[in-house]
Structure 1
Amino acid sequence: MSVASRRDVTGGLLSVLMAGAGSALAAPPHDDVSAFADGRHQLILLRPQQSLPPVRLFRLEGGTLDLAALRGAPILLNFFASWCAACRTELPVLDQLARSVTHDRLQVVAVSEVRSDRDRVGRFVGALGLKTLPICLDPNGYVAQQGDGSGRTAPFILHGMPITYLISASGLVIGYLQGAADWSSSVAADLFAYLRRN
């Protein structure tokens, strides 16, 4: 390869790298939603992203909750079980988060995967002292299914417990985080800001 050819190739590579660096510098660091991690867990992005399907949940205290009615604000949709030790740690954090944000900035909803016993879920929630966090039930498994390929067609897949799906203000299901996360961290605040803009 001649010196001129090497110079052309090197110049081309440098311009590609500089263009990439320029676009990276132009975008605020909190626009990279994939950077969210709490030290033990990483956000799994869904590709392609899907719109939030029509989902109606049963409230623990009675009545129903239509997730589509929450559109316009980001949603943290958490799935938990009473037998899950990490859920016992995470639910009080989510309750505090639900208490500290206005509904137009973030909606937090927790769904119990204990399907058959409303009283058991009520005792579990009471023992944790949860006051603000909306607790819902999925008694028929129409909202979530185990990630075991059971052939069901529920819109959310449970890869473990707890698991939290992140839904943008525009109603896109962005991704999920498996395991208990630190939702009070500054990194989580950046993530919520990202979800509000999208």
Structure 2
Amino acid sequence: MSRRRGDRRAVAAAAGVARLAAPRSRRRLLVDGALLGLGLSWLPAAARSASLPSFSGGGAPFVEESPKEPAPSIRFLDDGGHVRSLDDFAGRVLLVNIWATWCPPCVGEMPALDRMQRDLGGSDLQVVPISIDRPGAAAVLPFYQGEGIAALPVFLDPVQATVYSRSTGRRPDALPLYGLPVSFFVDRRGRLVGYLVGAADWDADGPRRFLRHLAGPSA
């Protein structure tokens, strides 16, 4: 990616922030350089079952939701400044990863997520990495270029419209920010089936087997 092309994308993405942020322009941002007041103590007690394969991330296991409710239709920006949503990927299994470039565990797992999208992504599965960096594309595009990340799309949420915290209160149009990184899993029917707090080894057999299970025999 040339520097000029990257600059154009950054400007376009910045122009889209106003459209994304308009409904919540007076809400304070959830994250300002650090994730405050969040941790495993906020995690709800979710029912576990044997219906899905189990795997773990950085010390925290996958938590299966029960019952499985429709995932919120969160809105975010692409690197062209266009508003996108999870509805754009209807019919696919989604791995929605909330991350930031200032979060060491987040950036540590991004190359493996890129390989996950390269190897498994397509009509059956999509990795949806949403950066909550306040600078938006200005932070994310150089990181992608420096790490050689090519398969993952660039999705941005500089005003944190996609997430809510314990301090801001639950919102039906957003996902709970239990920590960073946090990954949410959505099945083909658009249901939120579970989540994982912390980084994971996405190259390992466990998470890949889990996603293939969700996607079905064709994946």
TM-score range, shorter chain: 0.7 to 0.9
Shift of 1:33: 2.1
**In the alignment, which residue of structure 1 is the partner of 2:55?**
36
**In the alignment, which residue of structure 2 is the partner of 1:122?**
141
Aligned length: 166
**In the alignment, which residue of structure 1 is the partner of 2:168?**
150
After superposition, residues 1-198 of structure 1 pair within 5 angstroms as 32-33=51-52, 35-38=54-57, 40-146=59-165, 148-151=166-169, 153=171, 154-197=173-216
Shift of 1:171: 0.7
Shift of 1:139: 2.6
SS at match of 1:184: coil
TM-score, with length taken from structure 2: 0.68
Counterparts of 1:181 and 1:157 in 2: how far apart (Å)? 19
Shift of 1:115: 2.6
Counterparts of 1:190 and 1:142 in 2: how far apart (Å)? 31
Alignment RMSD (CA, Å): 2.0
Q: Deviations over 1:94-132 (max 9, x none)?
A: 111111124122100100111344312222222222111
The amino acid that maps onto 2:72 is P
Counterparts of 2:209 and 2:192 in 1: how far apart (Å)? 17
Gapped regions of structure 1 (runs ≥ 5): 1-30
SS at match of 2:114: helix
Are the counterparts in 1 of residues 79 and 156 from structure 2 also a CA contact under 8 Å?
Answer: yes
Q: Single out whichever of 150-159 and 102-111 deviates more from structure 2.
A: 150-159
Distance 1:155 1:109, change over 3 A: same
Gapped regions of structure 2 (runs ≥ 5): 1-49
Q: Deviations over 1:24-43 (max 9, x none)?
A: xxxxxxx6426222473301
| Structure (1/2) with the larger strand percentage | 1
| Structure (1/2) with the larger helix percentage | 1
Counterparts of 1:66 and 1:54 in 2: how far apart (Å)? 6
- Bigger-Rg structure (1/2): 1
